[in-house]
Structure 1
Amino acid sequence: MKAIWNDTVLAESNDTVVVENNHYFPAESINKELFEDSIAHTSCPWKGRASYYSVRVNGELNKDAAWYYPEPKEAAQQIKGRVAFWKGVKVVE
């Protein structure tokens, strides 16, 4: 699987975990120089508190385009250490 935005591969892995129709990529599969920490957080009743990354490609910023759960709840342990995408990021095979 590949996560692509602005014609650039943000992450690539054959080992994604699908939860609620989102592919969670291993953290080590992301192109780290394209990611910036965000102050945004959201909460999910069964997954826990999500943190976000913004993505910058060719000078363009996609704010809070990726999220992860640093300390997921017990029911969501399969996504620990993984990153998912939205906001126009295409996830393709």
Structure 2
Amino acid sequence: MKAIWRGKVIAESDRTLEVDGYRYFPRDAVRMELLSLSPKTGGDLKCPHGVQFYDVVEGEARSPRAAWSYEAPQEKMKPVDHWIGFWEEVAVR
């Protein structure tokens, strides 16, 4: 599986997991240098799994909050603890 943003592969792995319709990549398969921490919103702080969103960034191009990770997942999300999920402008295929 690959996560692609603006024609660039930002994650690639044969070990992805699907949870609740979203595909997650192990952190070591993600080009973390293209992710920048997004400030937490009130809704983020209420997430029971400790969500952290990331902007996907390269140069001046930015896709806000297009990636996320669960930093303190409860049982349901433990299989993807600290893995990275993508959505919106990032195509996963």
TM bracket (short chain): 0.7 to 0.9
Q: State the 1:38 CA deviation.
A: 1.0
For residue 64 of structure 1, give the secondary structure of its aligned residue in structure 2: strand
Query: Which residue number in structure 2 is paired with residue 11 of structure 1?
Result: 11
CA contact under 8 A between 1:8 and 1:57: conserved in structure 2?
no
Cα deviation for residue 75 of structure 1 reads 2.2
**Which protein is richer in helix relative to its size?**
2
Aligned to 1:78: 79
Deviation at 1:49? 2.4
Under a length normalisation based on structure 2, what TM-score does the superposition of the two structures give? 0.87
| Cα distance in 1, alignment partners of residues 81 and 74 from structure 2 | 9
**Aligned-partner Cα distance in 2 for 1:54–1:2:** 18
The number of residues matched between the two structures is 90
Shift in Å, 1:81: 2.3
User: Which amino acid counterpart does residue 77 of structure 1 have in structure 2?
Assistant: K
Ranges of 4+ aligned residues in structure 1 off by more than 6 Å: none
- Gapped regions of structure 1 (runs ≥ 5): none
Gaps of 5+ in 2: none
What SS does the corresponding residue of 1:87 show, helix, strand or coil? coil
Cα RMSD (Å) of the superposition?
1.5
Q: Going by fraction, where is strand more abundant, 1 or 2?
A: 1
Identity of aligned residues (%): 34
